[in-house]
Homo-oligomer: A and B are copies of this chain.
Amino acid sequence: MTRSPDALRGSDLRRPLTLRDVSEASGVSEMTVSRVLRNRGDVSEATREKVLNAARNLGYVPNKIAGALASQRVNLVAVIIPSLSNMVYPEVMTGISAMLEDTGLQPVVGVTHYQPDREEAVLYEMLSWRPSGVILAGLEHSDAARAMLSNAGIPIVEIMDVDGQPVDSVVGISHRRAGLKMAEAILAAGYRRIGFLGTMMPYDHRARKRMEGLQEGLARAGIVLADQEFYSGGSALLKGREMTETILARSPDLDFLYYSNDMIGAGGLLYCLDKGIDVPGQLGLAGFNGVELLDGLPRQLATMDACRAEIGRIAAEIIAGKRPGMAGGRVIGGEQVELTPKLQPGDTIRRAG
């Protein structure tokens, strides 16, 4: 209102720039500037040049807040994951980012630290920015979170796990089945006294499901889990060493250790090598995830790939409405994609006879 035209150029009044400044500097209407900056609608080449120059000279950066409010469109995708310290999630992020790259959509990360109430808070915060979609890890959420998700009116993709009731779409693997498959491989290799080592976190549902799957698989052969050991916090590699020592001290007759993740598995492997334990002859080992890190270890740890990048990619495709076969539709409920993890036997499980 009170803006004098000359407040424009020289003066560094630190008033944030608006479309109007660019409009005045280039001598066209705000609407035309808006069109140029968004590459929308017809604008003559001459005008476009003028506007772009003015914008560049002024150092104008559009205000997406105003833009989003006016257009009712936000190019953000909320991604809610438990942690960034567990390399699994950065890898999923990589898959998501790569897929979203040329869709104009932008992922925004929120971290829950495996706490349901944090998840709820993060979700609320993110929804208040009215994203175009939500990707979140796991199928277990508080009632309030579930309600927010169903009411949001945007595509929701729950990832990592398929053992449960999704709100909308879901992309993941069956951890129960993964545990079961591992049980079969272990038994086929002739191991019989099996121990499980994992996190103590009550909300690590996927690790829990793997353990349950393992138990079920063993039960089918009339075997029960011989021992188990849990940890929380600290360096996973070190914890792996310590837990392995502990569990072997307590149950020296164990002949197989199933770890809930590769990092503690790697720690266990290093411990066994240190102690001169015959792996996989005397003792078999397996982890879970197929993290890249394992490639550098002295011996390949048996593991099962959790399809992280693939999960990220597909989840992003669903949000972007790019899934083949879903021609712009997305009317009745969501899509369900179950991927199949592959066992990578490595060198720490006896070759089955």
A interface with B by C-beta (< 8 Å): 14, 16, 59, 61-66, 68-69, 74, 84-85, 87, 90-91, 93-94, 97, 106, 108-109, 111, 124-125, 127-130, 147-148, 151-153, 234-241, 266-267, 270, 273-274, 292-293, 295-298
Contact = CB atoms under 8 A, between A and B. Distances in A.
A266 B298 CA distance: 12
Given A69-B65, A93-B84, A153-B14, A235 B298 contact: no
Contact of A59 (B74, B106, B130, B151): B151
A115 B298 CA distance: 33
Contacts of A124: 61
A129 B236 CA distance: 37
A63 B130 contact: yes
Contact of A297 (B64, B68, B270): B270
A128 B97 contact: no
B64 A295 contact: no
A90 B97 contact: no
5 contacts: A16-B130, A65-B130, A84-B94, A90-B90, A270-B297
Contacts of A147: 59
A266 B266 CA distance: 13
Contact of A85 (B74, B90, B130): B90
B85 A235 contact: no
Given A59-B148, A85-B87, A151-B59, A295 B238 contact: yes
Given A64-B128, A85-B87, A109-B109, 20 more contacts: A16-B130, A16-B153, A59-B148, A59-B151, A61-B152, A63-B128, A64-B130, A65-B69, A69-B69, A84-B90, A84-B94, A97-B111, A106-B125, A108-B109, A235-B295, A237-B293, A238-B295, A239-B296, A266-B296, A274-B298
Contacts of A266: 296
- Majority SS of interface residues in chain A? helix
A69 B270 CA distance: 55
A206 B94 CA distance: 23
A273 B240 CA distance: 20
Contacts of A236: 296
A273 B298 CA distance: 10
Given A64-B128, A90-B90, A296 B238 contact: yes
A235 B59 contact: no
Given A16-B153, A66-B69, A296-B267, A61 B128 contact: yes
Contact of A235 (B66, B273, B296): B296
A296 B241 contact: yes
A135 to B, nearest CB: 15
Contacts of A267: 296
A61 B235 contact: no
Contacts of A90: 84-85, 90
A98 to B, nearest CB: 11
A91 B239 CA distance: 19
A86 to B, nearest CB: 9
Given A90-B85, A274-B298, A296-B241, A64 B129 contact: yes
Contact of A108 (B108, B127, B241): B108
A336 B201 CA distance: 40
A74 B84 contact: no
